[in-house]
């Protein structure tokens, strides 16, 4: 869930209107890291915002000088401190992500490959693992992602792939405001338990922005319409995240603290 922190889109309107909305969001995000010469962001989890106690390294994200993510180390998933799980990103000559590999996850090497269209948007992708998945992408007229369809393959008892088509059993639906801020994501799944298969909402994320179109709050709402997690963002004057307050309905609330390393100026 918390991997969504990687994809914080800040609308700065510094790029041409000819660029698709999806690509513009990616470039705007990178521009923040490039402008501030960010080399890495280390994220710590604690139970206090002012005087962090029992602070633990949660995640470490590394960037190149163009602001692109190169490595994302997931420390909270590490069982062995000498073998930290991480994502390794690869890009094409246009700076569009081609693939990411999942390393040290105690299973076979996993990777996710993308098919990029002429506008720099993913038109499809595939996740290669023991549980393979395929994804289709849909966009609005401005080129912003509106739906992500997930397809799964089902295996027979002897682990051989059945001669059946891919089954679309999950999808994500995105909505935007007039300023093209992404204001909600609805995660849906196909309910096989009903007499006739139907789509139901698994959970939803609502997002709130300030007057500068910078993300301020995210609310996670379950299928019973209960807000079970709220994230409140705090920024520096350079639009870098300083901390995130994680207000949980069912668990102890926590804080994420950001510490940055910089390229030489």
Give me the CATH number covering residue 223: 2.40.128.720
- What is the residue-wise DSSP string for 157-202? TTSPBPS---EEEEEEEEEE-TT--EEEEEEEEEE-SSSS-EEEEE
Determine the pLDDT at residue 204.
98
Q: What is the gyration radius of the CA atoms in the chain, in angstroms? A: 19
For the whole model, what pTM was predicted?
0.85
Q: What is the pLDDT of residue 205?
A: 98
Given a contact cutoff of 8 angstroms between Cβ atoms, the answer to whether 147 and 174 are in contact is yes
Interval 231-246: pLDDT, tens: 999 999 999 999 999 9
pLDDT tens digits, one per residue of 217-235: 999 999 999 999 999 999 9
Which residues, other chains included, contact 143 with Cβ-Cβ below 8 Å and sequence gap of 6+?
A: 19, 20, 21, 22, 23, 24, 119, 121
Q: Which domain holds residue 24?
A: 2-262
Calpha distance 108→128 (Å, rounded): 10
What string of DSSP letters covers 28-40? HHHHHHHHTTEEE
In total, how many domains does the chain have? 1
pLDDT per position in the chain (265 positions), as tens? 334 333 333 333 333 446 789 999 999 999 999 999 999 999 999 987 655 567 889 999 999 999 999 999 998 876 777 778 999 999 999 999 999 999 887 766 689 999 999 999 999 999 988 788 999 999 999 999 999 999 998 765 555 555 566 889 999 999 999 999 999 999 999 987 767 788 999 999 999 999 999 999 999 999 999 999 999 999 999 999 999 999 999 888 999 999 999 999 7
DSSP letter for 155, please: B
What count of Cα atoms within 13 Å lies in the side-chain half-sphere of residue 48?
A: 6
CA-CA distance, 209 to 195, in Å (whole number)? 41
């Amino acid at each position: 869930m918390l991997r969504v922190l990687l994809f914080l889109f800040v609308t700065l309107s510094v790029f041409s209107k000819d660029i698709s909305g999806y690509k513009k969001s990616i470039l705007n995000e990178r521009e923040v890291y490039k402008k501030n010469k960010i080399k890495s962001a280390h994220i710590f989890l604690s139970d206090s915002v002012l005087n962090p106690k029992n602070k633990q390294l949660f995640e470490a994200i590394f960037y190149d000088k163009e602001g692109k993510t190169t490595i994302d180390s997931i420390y909270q998933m590490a069982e062995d401190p000498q073998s930290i799980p991480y994502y390794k990103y690869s890009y094409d000559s246009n700076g569009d992500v081609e693939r990411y590999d999942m390393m040290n996850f105690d299973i076979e090497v996993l990777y996710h490959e993308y098919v990029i269209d002429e506008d720099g948007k993913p038109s499809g992708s595939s996740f290669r693992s023991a549980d393979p998945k395929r994804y289709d992408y849909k966009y609005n007229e401005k080129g912003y992602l509106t739906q992500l369809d997930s397809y799964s393959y089902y295996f027979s008892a002897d682990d051989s792939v059945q001669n059946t088509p891919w089954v679309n059993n999950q999808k994500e639906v995105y909505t935007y405001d007039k300023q093209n801020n992404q204001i909600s994501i609805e995660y849906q799944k196909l309910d096989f338990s009903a007499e006739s298969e139907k789509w139901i909402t698994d959970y939803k994320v609502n997002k709130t922005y300030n007057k500068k179109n910078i993300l301020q709050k995210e609310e996670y709402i379950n299928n019973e319409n209960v807000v079970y997690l709220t994230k409140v963002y705090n920024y520096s004057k350079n639009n870098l995240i300083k901390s995130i307050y994680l207000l949980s309905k069912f668990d102890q609330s926590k804080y994420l603290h950001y510490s940055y390393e910089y390229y030489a100026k």
